[in-house]
Chain A
Amino acid sequence: MPPSAKAASPALRLEAVGHRFRAGKRAVTALDGITADAAPGAITGLIGPDGAGKTTLMRLIAGLLRLDAGRIEVLGIDVVRDPLAVQARLGYMPQRFGLYEDLSVRENLDLYADLQGVPPAARAGRYAELLHMTGLGPFTRRMAGRLSGGMKQKLGLACTLVNPPDLLLLDEPTVGVDPVSRRELWQIIDHLTRTAHMTVLFSTAYLDEAERCDSVLLIHDGRLLGSGPPGSFTAEMAGRTFFATASSGRRRLQARLAGAPNVIDAVIQGARVRVVTAAASPPDADVLAPDLPDLAFVPTAPRFEDGFVARLRALNTAAAPAARPAAIPNAPVGGNGGGDMISVRHLTRRFGAFTAVDDVSFQVARGEIFGLLGANGAGKSTTFRMLCGLLPASEGSLRVAGFDLRTAAATARGRIGYMAQKFSLYGDLSVRQNLRFFSSAYRLFGGRQRDRIDWAVNEFDLTPLLNDTARDLPLGFKQRLALACALMHEPDILFLDEPTSGVDPLARRDFWRRINLLAEAGVTVLVTTHFMEEAEYCDRLAIMAQGRVLTAGNPEAIKATARTSALPDPTMEDAFIAIIEAAAAHSATEAA
């Protein structure tokens, strides 16, 4: 194809793309009428929560799935008609890129070079370029399985790029990667489009990454919710975003504002509450909360997420659960009085020669929301599992409500609620059967059991789904059901392991609304997350990397450490990167 023709037409053209599959007995429409283009040489972001259809769309473009409706054209070639020709010119990095873990970096590159038909003569130069770009040069002989998460992603990218493709599909390459590696990945991608004029389709569930793209396709539930440059999403939100402050405490304030008229979004950000209004005017403080004399609004710049939330709210105004004032009954009181509900001192966990958690100490007070923040492999899940009694500690002491749960009597475990990282209820059982089982496991029987199941069904709007098989539920409902099961027995302490990963922004807000209410009622909450923005909701948090706590404190204090004249209002991610870099510099000077 002549280069002129290539430049004129879009690199990727989607026309009314549709795809269906079966989940259990139901037919699910994964994608419905997606029509969009991707300009050559640009980064197009494919943005949406888990289950929106991002991966399905990627696979359809790569010719790996049956196309049920519409037409996909890649570089002018019809994918259905000639998938091999398309595959020859496109690079695709699946979500879990298939690195052969028992092959070295070099051997993985060799394999993909062979598969993509790179002539041996051209390899040395190409490898050098890729290894330089990804910073993997020193590790060519290392087994891929022994690389860190970020390095694995970079190697996966390098393998995809061995033969430079014309169109590069990247399916959530930044999920679970630490912020430093994430920034490096973005630098590579920028470099590819700017210098090699590669077209990139980049999918992500992180809304803040949308702003780095040239153009965005926002999809939700298999439908295109909007497309255009990211600026167009934020532009329509101009003048509608504010910070609210009041002396009443941010959680109460947030709860107050969340359901208020003219307010479509209210989330905690550090000590303040970020408010998005329906109209381009600040909410009237006197009408909203006359009893809060010091309530004040300061305008702030809109974000991409605001546009997403506004569109979602417009979609389902009727079924917005967040508007309902929630009541968490029977606030747990009594027990150990005040003081620390969770206490961790010098906690260490080794797996063979590898130290997963290294001398970690922190305390969590009653009614506090405490966050463990870090990338995959930072040690937060290991810490979490030790606290829940699922894993013995190698050294150090830990107390949860005064017990070590690993050795404590069964009754002590009755005081905690636990929600695992991935959906871990019984997929074969119906919603009702799951509720009944978990309430029995927590020793609720008879009338009490009925009451609590009724409570859970009402509180989490599960009535229409009671007889559905849990496996086939939409992700947001799975997460609600999991929380309902964890709260069945009104625990004093709630453990949440990455509770909101992959859910859409509204479901995440709904989830945090409940968590806030629980904390207000005196429930102690320990939550792990790799969403920087979620860290803002915590009262205090600890940032972990390589098994160590790098810093701990309230969100404002942690962000303040990164405040410079060049960066007057740093984000949590800025702070995280600054802290990691400082720690790296520190250990470097120590070594020297």
Chain B
Amino acid sequence: MWRQVLALIVKELLAVLRDGKSRMVLVGPPLIQLLVFGYAATFDLNNVPVAIYDKDQSQASRDLVARFLGAPAFRLVASLHSEQPIDDLIDSRQAAMVLVIDRRLTRDLLTGRPAPVQVIVDGRNSNTALLIEGYANTILSDFALSWGAAHGVPPPPAVLAMRARYNPTLSSRWFVVPGIVALLTQVVTLLVVGLSVARERETGTFDQLLVTPLRPIDILLGKGLPGVLIGVTEATVTILAAVWWFDVPLRGGLIALYLGLVLFVIAVTGIGLMLSSLATTQQQALLGAFLFMVPTIILSGFATPIANMPDWVQDLTLINPMRYFLVIVRGVFLEGASLSSLVSQYWPMAAIGGVSLAAAGWLFRKRVT
């Protein structure tokens, strides 16, 4: 039996690798996407255009402005001399933030009254707005504390000592790049596997397989294992790129990572084979793969946390294998998560893989045209 399955696997790999176009789909787009998305998908603030209206024009206010401009997050686009252009700057998105320093700044600082500083933020991108607010708050309270210390003002009863565990600089690339490992693995595996049965149905070779002594389990293995092989290879390349190119720390063990990876690829392969067996044409299979891919990526926690979703959507994500793998890949990369701490992520993927593969094997024979 194993020799038959091996023959199937060799055939499947040859069919993918002998064809120039399929080779391209496996190599070109994933690499380009890894590079472009690795750099593009960032929540870090860089070069945020800011405008500053300093009404005080004092030593203190210049000090404050310098603190803003010293941060790489901000880029000065305009120094204002009246309030009038503020609206236009924000409306037209030329500035995402306008800092207005009141004329009373120095006086209030010296008299111990809270000195008002206005931070006007463009809320159209609410996430950026929140982050800008956070940055501005930090800079302002740092300024206040150090000004107070220099001028003998008693310090507040307590100060915050913030630390970020696992990702001390809070680089969102560390968060996103491991996510891309999951994203590209899913896309490539699905494209390879999701069309394989439909393509054979369309060309008639699937009938040819069904009349040989091959059993459904042989065909299932012969179809599934190449997908797993390609998916794992693709993921390995992405992981290497994450470590060597994007300098994301890989803190956990490879066993924990690859156990998750294999289970994930099996689950995606199972779903791909299932979709593929349901479809009668490659067109349908492609559409099916697509309609599966879009929601599973968006509702996976790749870009937006699952915890923020309403409960019913959170329940829906329980059948999404990518959600579990994202926890594993980020956990192993950044937290150094151990095999045992990830058990709750492994078994749902194994279950999804088992169910979908069984369904695919059943559909091979049931689905007739």
Contacts and interface: CB of A to CB of B under 8 A. Distances in A.
Interface stretch (A182-190, A429-437, A531-539, A568-576): A429-437
B341 interface: no
Nearest to A388: B211
Interface in B201-257: 203-205, 207-215
Contacts of B15: 426, 428-429
B56 to A, nearest CB: 74
B58 interface: no
A420 B7 contact: no
Given A429-B11, A441-B4, A416 B204 contact: no
Contacts of B311: none
Chain B interface secondary structure, helix, strand, loop or mixed?
helix
Chain A interface secondary structure, helix, strand, loop or mixed?
loop
A441 B203 contact: no
A410 B214 contact: yes
Interface stretch (A51-59, A389-397, A549-557, A558-566): A389-397
Interface in B15-47: 15, 18-19
A425 B213 CA distance: 16
B208 A425 contact: yes
Given A390-B207, A413-B213, A418-B211, A428 B4 contact: no
A423 B3 CA distance: 26
A140 B209 CA distance: 43
A441 B207 contact: no
Interface string B157-181: 0000000000000000000000000
Contacts of A300: none
Contact of A441 (B19, B204, B209): B209
A96 interface: no
Interface string A393-418: 00000000000010000110110101
Contact of B211 (A389, A425, A427): A389
Contact of A424 (B6, B205, B212): B205
Given A392-B368, A437-B11, A469-B18, A443 B208 contact: no
Given A389-B211, A413-B211, A413-B212, A426 B11 contact: yes
B262 interface: no
A438 to B, nearest CB: 7
B14 A443 contact: no
A16 B161 CA distance: 88
B14 A441 contact: no
B10 interface: yes
A440 interface: yes
A429 B18 CA distance: 7
Contact of A418 (B3, B208, B368): B208
Contacts of B8: 437, 441
Of B7, B10, B215, most buried by chain A (CB within 10 Å of CB) is B7
B11 A442 contact: no
Of A385, A437, A443, A495, most buried by chain B (CB within 10 Å of CB) is A437
B349 to A, nearest CB: 31
Contacts of B210: 388-390
A416 B211 contact: yes
Given A426-B15, A429-B15, A436-B7, A421 B213 contact: no
Given A410-B213, A410-B215, A442-B212, A437 B207 contact: no
Contacts of B6: 440
A577 to B, nearest CB: 31
A414 B213 contact: yes
A420 B212 contact: no
Contacts of A424: 203-205, 207-208
A371 B211 CA distance: 20
A256 interface: no
Contacts of B205: 424-426
Contact of B213 (A411, A433, A436, A445): A411
Contacts of B211: 388-390, 405, 413, 416, 418, 495
B16 to A, nearest CB: 8
Interface of A: 385, 388-392, 405, 410-411, 413-414, 416, 418, 420-430, 433, 436-438, 440-443, 445, 469, 495
Given A428-B15, A443-B213, 9 more contacts: A388-B207, A388-B211, A390-B368, A410-B214, A418-B207, A418-B211, A423-B204, A433-B14, A441-B7
